[in-house]
């Protein structure tokens, strides 16, 4: 790693004493001039300097500029004949440079992880879409697949544009929307098939408990998919809130019916509540089946 090499080797190359080594007496003029040149090379021409410039890390660039400023003071001290001050300032300049390289390196590592996370999520979305295509064909739901395909393609295109612009974090967030939409769509297709083939709940109460879980899952989707949209737009927040208030009211009615033992009515009422949540999500421009 560049940072490790710099920290362990550069002090020796620059002619600075390493901690624990014996100090020599007066430093010869040629050695002082050599230190000035070496630190200048480190700051301006080394691979470390190139790494900082390429990193896009503003903190690293600020540290690089600080190293330059300290170096300029070292040169001034040298020219004034204050060689002890010059030596000290050169060491400070090198130390500032090491710090800038560390910051650039950290940015590079984080950036690489973000890129890998983006690619992993994109691969997951594509895999889910392949699965959705297969399930849609099995269930005769090709129209639903095409709707979802359009939604997901739009999200992928937007995510790639943000990634190209350097905003990998926001790009990953948009991919997450596509991922959740595709995953939910598959679950809906499979869940619907299961219910059609085997609405064989042991009791109406068991079916009610299933619908409670389904309702909770859709409420979770609102948090996952719409949180940023609602924070960014008062209009979206108002529209979503209207649907969610109605969903909450309807669920309350279902819970009262369940308390009274009328689970069959409670199931129907809960289904209506979940439909309101689906409408809330769609009102914000995100298609999910349901």
Q: Of 49, 79, 109, which residue sits at a domain end?
A: 109
pLDDT of residue 101: 78
Band (pLDDT 50/70/90 cuts) for residue 73 is very high
Range of the domain at 13: 2-109
Domain membership of residue 155 (yes or no) is no
Q: Report whether 141 contacts 189 (CB < 8 A).
A: yes
Higher pLDDT, 44 or 180: 44
pLDDT value for 136? 78
Q: Tell which of 76, 109, 142 closes a domain.
A: 109
**165 versus 280: which is more confidently predicted?**
280
d(CA 269, CA 254): 5
Q: Name the most confidently modeled range: 30-34, 58-62, 138-142, 235-239.
A: 235-239
Report pLDDT for 139.
Answer: 74
Residue 134 lies in a domain: no
Q: What is the dihedral of CA 69, 71, 72, 77, to 10 degrees?
A: 130
What is the mean predicted confidence (pLDDT) over 239-258? 95
Question: Of all helices (H) and strands (E), which one includes residue 116?
Answer: helix 83-139
Which SS3 state, helix, strand or coil, does residue 289 take? Answer: coil
What average pLDDT does range 19-44 have in this prediction? 66
When pLDDT is averaged across residues 38-44 and rounded to a whole number, the result is: 84
Residue 135 belongs to some domain of the structure:
no
Task: Please report the pLDDT score of residue 30 as a whole number.
Answer: 65
Tokens of 67: 């190293």
Helices (H), 165-287: 168-197, 204-232, 234-259, 263-283
**pLDDT tens digits, one per residue of 85-114:** 988 898 888 888 888 877 776 655 556 677
| 115 inside domain | no
On whether the pTM is more than 0.85, the answer is: no
Q: Is residue 36 part of a domain?
A: yes
Residue 16 lies in a domain: yes
pLDDT reported for residue 181: 77
Among 59, 89, 109, give the residue marking a domain's end.
109
What is the separation of C-alpha 212 from the centre of its chain, rounded to a whole number of angstroms?
32
**pLDDT tens per residue, range 196-211:** 334 456 788 888 887 8
Q: For the chain, how many structural domains are there in total?
A: 2
Please state the rounded mean pLDDT for residues 16-39: 59
The confidence score (pLDDT) of residue 185 equals 73
Evaluate whether residue 245 is within a structural domain.
yes
Asked if the structure places residue 195 within a domain, the reply is no
């Amino acid at each position: 790693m560049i940072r490790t090499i710099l920290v362990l080797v550069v002090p020796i190359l620059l002619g600075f004493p390493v901690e624990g080594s014996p100090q020599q007496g007066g430093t010869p003029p040629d050695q002082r001039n050599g230190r000035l040149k070496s630190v200048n090379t480190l700051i301006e021409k080394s691979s470390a300097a190139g790494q900082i410039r390429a990193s896009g890390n503003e903190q690293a660039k600020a540290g690089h500029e600080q190293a330059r400023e300290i170096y300029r003071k070292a040169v001034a001290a040298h020219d004034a004949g204050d060689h002890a001050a010059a030596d000290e300032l050169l060491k400070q300049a090198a130390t500032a440079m090491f710090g800038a390289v560390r910051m650039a390196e950290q940015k590079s590592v984080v950036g690489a992880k973000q890129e890998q996370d983006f690619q992993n999520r994109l691969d997951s979305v594509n895999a889910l879409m392949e699965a959705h295509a297969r399930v849609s064909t099995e269930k005769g739901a090709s129209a639903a697949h095409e709707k979802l395909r359009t939604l997901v393609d739009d999200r992928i295109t937007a995510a790639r544009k943000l990634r190209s612009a350097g905003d990998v974090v926001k790009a990953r967030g948009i991919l997450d929307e596509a991922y959740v939409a595709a995953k939910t769509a598959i679950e809906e297709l499979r869940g619907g098939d299961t219910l059609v083939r085997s609405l064989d709940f042991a009791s109406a109460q068991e079916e009610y408990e299933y619908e409670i879980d389904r309702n909770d899952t859709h409420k979770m989707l609102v948090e996952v998919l719409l949180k940023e949209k609602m924070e960014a737009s008062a209009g979206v927040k108002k529209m979503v809130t209207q649907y969610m208030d109605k969903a909450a009211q309807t669920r309350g009615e279902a819970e009262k019916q369940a308390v009274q033992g009328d689970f069959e009515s409670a199931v129907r009422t809960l289904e209506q509540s979940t439909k309101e949540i689906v409408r809330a999500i769609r009102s914000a421009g995100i298609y999910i089946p349901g």
